[in-house]
Structure 1
Amino acid sequence: MALIITDECINCDVCEPECPNSAIYEGEEIYEIDPNLCTECVGHYDEPQCQQVCPVDCIPHDPNHVETNDQLQEKYERIIAASA
């Protein structure tokens, strides 16, 4: 399942550089996550790095983008192949 940034975001900018897939970007009001690029760091790390560094704990799972670990791994592999 992809992650989402909630409106509790304080725009501290610590999550964006931690994302290995460049899925996090600055939105109009708060940072946002592109669900097509978010793999919850599968293929890169054991845990989502954005969640690890977020000081206000505002990055939960996105219930609108439910994915299994296998699906996240497949997405990671597609992203890596496209960037090669």
Structure 2
Amino acid sequence: MNIKELQKFLPRIGISKTSYNIEADGSEVSSGGVVLESTPKGICVYYTERYVDYEVKYFKEEEAAVKYFLYLLEGLSNDYKSYKIKHSA
């Protein structure tokens, strides 16, 4: 999955915009959320809470960045956890 697909996927499965911010889309995640943003060092993905960033990683490949984004989101969003359980084979 690439970043554009991720941006379409999350609302489709009912994930609240307060849980994430992708490419500075204007979503406020100060109370806790997952962020994905392009930087000069690569695609940066991290969990943020109260303006402090945790588990920051940089990726060269979109697929790896999206996979890590979803991994962090799974620990934060019960809606995504439920979706993943329901669609696991």
TM-score after normalising by structure 2? 0.28
Ranked by relative contact order (alpha carbons within 8 Å, sequence separation 6 or more), the top structure is 1
Specify which structure has the higher proportion of helix: 2
TM-score after normalising by structure 1? 0.29
Specify which structure has the higher proportion of strand: 2
